[in-house]
Amino acid sequence: MNTKPATSLPTRRVGPFEVSAIGLGCMNLSHAYGQPPAREQAAALLHRALDLGVTLLDTAALYGFGGNESLLGELLAGQRDRYVLASKCGMQGVDGVRVIDGRPETIKATCEDSLRRLRTDVIDLYQLHRWDKSVPIEDSVGALADLVRAGKIRSIGLSEVSATTLRRAHAVHPIAAVQSEYSPWTRNPEIAVLDACRDIGAAFIAFSPVGRGFLTDTVLDLATFDARDIRRAMPRFSAENHAANRALLTQLHPIATAAGCTLAQLSLAWLLSRANHIIPIPGTTSIAHLEENMAALDVTLSAAQLAHIDQVMAPGAVKGGRYSGQNQGEVDTEEF
C-alpha cells in the first residue's frame, strides 16, 4: 500500500492559476455527511493539507449554509497567499432551506457575503453551483463577469452543466473551470463536457472522485449513515443497488494490489490519467485519508490496468442514479 505523503506536488492549471494536481474539497468539514468534525480537527486537517502542498481549496456558500466559508476564513486567517480559493454561488441556504437562485442580484449579494465570511477581498475561482434554469445562463454569467470587472473575483466556473450550456456561458465570458462529479463509477462527463472543457481551455474539477466513499470499499453498512447523510437519498446507496455495486469492487481489488495502492488511490490515479486538465478534489475529515489521497500522485497505472478499470466500471455497470429524481432535475449534465 502506498502511504508516502506527497511533499512536492505536481500542478495543473485553472484559469490563470497553477494549483496542486489534487485539491481539497472542504464540504465534509461542515456539511452533507452527518455530524461535522470538531473545529480543532478541521483546523488540523486544513493546516496539514497546506503543509503537504495542496493549493486548491474548494468551498461554497451552500456548505453549512455559510458555515464552511466562515470556518475557512477563521482557521486560515493570515495564510491566504498559500492557496487558490474556490467558492460557489447560485445555491445557498435561505431561512434553513436550500435554494437555487441564479438571478444577477442574488449572485452579487452572495459574493459579498462570501467575501466577508472568507475574510478576503477576492475569490480566485467563483463557480455557479447550479444553473438556475429559470434564468438564462447568459444573465448569471454576466453577473459573474461584472464581479470580475469589479475585482471581487478573479475567474469564473460552472458546476454540473452540459457542454452546450458551457459553450453558451463561455461566449459571455471565458470560463476557467467546470466542476462536476467524476470517478470510475460516474462516467457521464466523458459524453461531452470533458472535451468541451479541453476545447475552450477550461479545467475540469472532479468532485466525489472516490464515489462519496463507495470506491474505498469502506461503506459496508448503510444503516450506520447519520440521519442527515445525503447518501441516504441517493439511489446508488439503496440496499439493493449498494449490494450489486459492491460486487464491482471485488474486481478492482486485484488491480489496486498489483499497482501497490489503495482503492482510493486507484480511483484518483485513474482520474489523473484521463486528461491533463482534470483536477480531483477529494474531501475528508481524516488526516490519514488526506495523506493517502495526496500519495495517489505517486501511483502510476499501466495501460492494461487502466483498460481493466474502464471495463469493470463501464457506463451502465453501476446500478442506480447518482441523485434522487428532484436533485437530478436540478442539474444540467449529460447522462448515459
Instruction: Kindly give the confidence (pLDDT) of every residue in the chain, 336 residues in length, as a single tens digit, with 9 standing for 90 and above.
Output: 544 444 579 999 999 999 999 999 999 999 899 899 999 999 999 999 999 999 999 999 999 999 999 999 999 999 999 999 999 999 999 998 999 999 999 999 999 999 999 999 999 999 999 999 999 999 999 999 999 999 999 999 999 999 999 999 999 999 999 999 999 999 999 999 999 999 999 999 999 999 999 999 999 889 999 999 999 999 999 999 999 999 999 999 999 999 999 999 999 999 999 999 999 999 999 999 999 999 999 999 999 999 999 999 999 999 999 999 999 999 999 999
User: Do the domain assignments include residue 265?
Assistant: yes
Range of 226's domain?
Answer: 11-325
How far is the C-alpha of 270 from the C-alpha of 313, rounded, in Å? 11
User: Do the domain assignments include residue 336?
Assistant: no
Is residue 33 part of the annotated active site? The answer reads no
84 neighbors 17 (Cβ within 8 angstroms) = yes
User: Do the domain assignments include residue 4?
Assistant: no
85 bridge partner residues = 57
Handedness of CA 102, 107, 113, 115 (dihedral sign): positive
127 bridge partner residues = 88, 157
Count of domains for the chain:
1
What is the per-residue pLDDT for 6? Answer: 42
CATH code: domain of residue 285? 3.20.20.100
Q: Which of 33, 63, 126, 323 is catalytic?
A: 63
What is the per-residue pLDDT for 3? Answer: 44
User: Do the domain assignments include residue 5?
Assistant: no
What is the per-residue pLDDT for 7? Answer: 53
Side-chain-facing half-sphere of 298: CA atoms under 13 Å? 16
User: Do the domain assignments include residue 2?
Assistant: no
Global confidence as pTM: 0.96
User: Do the domain assignments include residue 184?
Assistant: yes
What is the per-residue pLDDT for 8? Answer: 76
